[in-house]
Amino acid sequence: MKKKVYNIIIAILAIFPILPFKIKGLSVVLFLILSLISLRKRDLKMKGIFFLNACLFVMYALSISYSENISDAFKILETKLSLLIFPLSFVLLSANSNAVSSVLKFEEPLKKLFLLSSFVLCVIIFIVSLQYGNYYEQKIALQPFLDNLNTGFYWLVDHPIYLSIYISIALLILIHLYTNANRNTKIALLIIGLFKLFILLLLSRKGVIIAFSLSASVYVFLKQRKKTNIILIITTILLVSIPMVNKFMPDTTKRFQEMFDSKSYKKEVDPHSSTSIRYAIYTCALEKISDSWLVGYGLGDVKSELDSCYGNISSHLLEINYNSHNQYLDVLLTVGLIGFILFLISLFINLRICFTNKDYFAFCLILMFMIFMITENILDRQNGVILFAFFINFFFFKNINESRLKPTQESNLSKRYN
């Protein structure tokens, strides 16, 4: 019975892409409750997972001590609670062998459920897009379409960035499943994959598209024995996707073209160019980091510090209330160089563990999150922080436990993090 409960809770997290926004946080609470119930003894293993993957949350909490805006700091900290809850939950689960076994066995069903739920999401997005054009006689009115996703998208109201992140994770899962599938399944996965790729391109999130492309290429490189296959696969994807984008999604093409336009990198901000806006934001962020580089400004004061710089550059930046649009810059702004170094250490240790265990899917998934962070503050919103915290802790938990079962040098990993 308890094993079914474990599976149900993880299944809820697996259908995260289509959960109503208001109850997504409930999945985290349920996971913590399950972990507490499963705790039978105090012989907690994997305590290292807590100190490693919760270190950023601890630094955030400590930074409140030197924040002036305490009320905002605690609200932001509440949003980031998943960074504490998931490491704690997996440590609690590690004390129960039945829970460990059940969670490990659910890895593949977890991937398949996520793939399925994201496919449902893509179908709904496609249906909504038809309200803004029919692709042939009339191109999609991209901006009104994207605005609708963020404000009136049935029960799935969400920013296109996070919708794109769900789809990119699902595409990486699809590539993983494709490598071990039979011929008929490969055909089905290929059709589903092309449809999801179309929706990903339609959402026009440059950073997410680039992150997926790089991570998928690394995964194929690590998995394929014949390296010539990599060039063939990547070339095929480019030959299919580039004409498709130019034909059906000219606005998406423009978003990429602006990256190479020198006008995007001038002091005067163009409110219609996301690249121009990001350039101005990064300029302000770096300026503020240089003024308080060691410990940052504290969790509650980053917004006011950025706003003070935005006001000197563009009224548009103040009106839209932009964050730093780069997770690494945000960490530097909030907890300074000390917190930034600890955060990078935790990320690279997770990468190393996955790579050592030859879990290339988890390695590339974490890599993809790290690339997402170059263009987005994914830990500032509930959807991003839950996904990141769950996956990074799940695969840490999985690889450390599996390394215990291997009579090789990899077993040293489990000793190190107990």
Please give the pLDDT value at position 155: 79
Residue 279 has pLDDT above 60, yes or no: yes
pLDDT band for 409, please (50, 70, 90 cuts): very low
> CA distances (Å), 219 to each of 174, 208, 397, in order?
12, 16, 21
Q: Is the pLDDT of residue 413 over 60?
A: no
Closest CA to 359 of 237, 219, 243: 219
CB atoms within 10 A of CB 265: 14
pLDDT greater at residue 29 or residue 406: 29
What average pLDDT does the chain have? 86
Structure tokens of 232? 């063939």
Q: How many residues does the chain have?
A: 418
94 sits in the region (left: phi over 0; alpha: psi -120 to 50; else beta) called: alpha
Question: When comparing pLDDT for 340 and 9, which is higher?
Answer: 340
Instruction: State which amino acid sits at residue 312.
Output: N
Q: Are 50 and 87 in contact (CB under 8 A)?
A: yes
User: Which DSSP letter does residue 273 get?
Assistant: -
Q: What is the pLDDT of residues 132-182, one digit of tens each?
A: 887 776 677 888 888 888 887 777 888 899 999 999 999 999 999 988 888
3-state helix, strand, coil in the chain (%, to 5): 80, 0, 20
pLDDT number for residue 256: 72
Which has the higher per-residue pLDDT, 316 or 66? 66
**What DSSP string describes 224-254?**
-SSTHHHHHHHHHHHHHHHHHHHHH-HHHHH
Mean pLDDT of 54-83: 95
Alpha helices in 204-326 (DSSP H): 206-223, 228-248, 250-257, 274-291, 302-310, 315-320
**What are the two backbone dihedrals, phi and then psi, of residue 153, each rounded to the nearest 5 degrees?**
-90, 70
Give pLDDT tens digits for 334-391: 999 999 999 999 999 999 999 999 999 999 999 999 999 999 999 999 999 999 999 9
| Both tokens assigned to 131 | 């309200």
Which amino acid makes up residue 116? L
| Spatial distance between the Cα atoms of 203 and 159, rounded to a whole number of angstroms | 10
Residue 301 has pLDDT above 90, yes or no: yes
Count Cα neighbours of 152 within 13 Å in the Cβ-side half-sphere: 7
Instruction: Kindly list the domain boundaries of the chain, sorted by start residue.
Output: 2-257+336-416
